[in-house]
Amino acid sequence: MPAEAKVNTVAKVEARAAAPASPPLTERQEARRRRILHASAQLASRGGFDAVQMREVAESSQVALGTLYRYFPSKIHLLVATMQDQLEHMHGTLRKKPPQGESAAERVAETLMRAFRALQREPHLADAMVRALTFADRSVSPEVDQVSRQTTAIILDAMGLEDPTPEQLSAVRVIEHTWHSALITWLSGRASIAQVRIDIETVCRLIALTKPEGQKPEGQK
């Protein structure tokens, strides 16, 4: 079925007519790219950020070092792309069984906790991806932004919103901030799993505050 567009991490950022922005990849190139991402995720799963060594990735994916750098201009780019990959997969998984909570806040918290549990199964991989994400400098902005958009989409999905208000988008941004930072404190051993849950639940309360005026917060108490 040709309808299967390349959902790949290669941003479908078309649009520019004149710009040679998105080169169509050959079969073999697409295969190389997949091998590289697979090797990256595999090495990351073993030993986290430090275990993803460019020479090893190149060898594992049977590609020359120079080629690896042609596909991903830095280790950070590679790991952020790996995260894009995983995020897509997770978004798909989450879509299949939407959260059950009554309020938007509950659903978002449930969704994030589900994602958190998935990360706990591969803590080293989580380490590599999250560290890369927060360490990324300006040269990786487009890719990091893409990850951010994907995360936003997941949260908005959980909220069940079509077109959020600016206020709601602010709340979502703050939730993302908390999510990333809480993950970091967990990964570096400074916060327990329980504490991450509390932080997520706490920040999700913000959602109730941003409801369009007519609605009253669906809180408990």
> Which of the stretches 29-37, 85-93, 102-110, 192-200 binds its own copies when contact is defined by CB under 8 A?
192-200
Cα separation, 156 vs 150, whole angstroms: 10
Select 63 or 203, whichever has its Cβ closest to its own copies: 203
Closest CA to 153 of 116, 111, 205, 185: 111
68 in Cβ contact with 36 (< 8 Å) = yes
Assign 3-state DSSP to the chain and report helix, strand, coil percentages, each to 5: 70, 0, 30
| Sites for DNA among residues 17-56 (CB under 7 A) | 23, 26, 28-29, 32, 50, 52-55
Q: Does 221 bind DNA (CB under 7 A)?
A: no
Closest CA to 110 of 158, 44, 154: 158
The CB-of-97 to its own copies minimum distance in angstroms stands at: 27
Q: Which of 13, 46, 62, 167 binds DNA (CB under 7 A)?
A: 62
Q: Does 8 bind DNA (CB under 7 A)?
A: yes
Q: Which of 70, 135, 153, 160 binds its own copies (CB under 8 A)?
A: 135
Q: Does 128 bind DNA (CB under 7 A)?
A: no
List the single partner that 181 binds among its own copies, DNA, none, CB under 5 to 8 Å by kind.
its own copies
Q: Which of 10, 51, 181, 218 binds its own copies (CB under 8 A)?
A: 181
List the single partner that 6 binds among its own copies, DNA, none, CB under 5 to 8 Å by kind.
DNA
**Structure tokens that stand for 215 in this block:** 């609605």
The CB-of-211 to DNA minimum distance in angstroms stands at: 44
Q: Which of 37, 39, 44, 63 binds DNA (CB under 7 A)?
A: 63
Closest CA to 119 of 186, 63, 166: 186
List the single partner that 138 binds among its own copies, DNA, none, CB under 5 to 8 Å by kind.
its own copies
Region of 160 on the Ramachandran plot (φ > 0 left; ψ -120 to 50 alpha; else beta): left
List the single partner that 3 binds among DNA, its own copies, none, CB under 5 to 8 Å by kind.
DNA
Closest CA to 13 of 178, 211, 149: 149
Q: Does 5 bind DNA (CB under 7 A)?
A: yes
DSSP for 79-120 reads HHHHHHHHHHHHHHHHHHS----SSHHHHHHHHHHHHHHHHH
> Which residue shows structure tokens 């990849």?
25
**Interacting residues toward DNA by CB under 7 A:** 1-8, 23, 26, 28-29, 32, 50, 52-55, 62-67, 69-71, 73-76
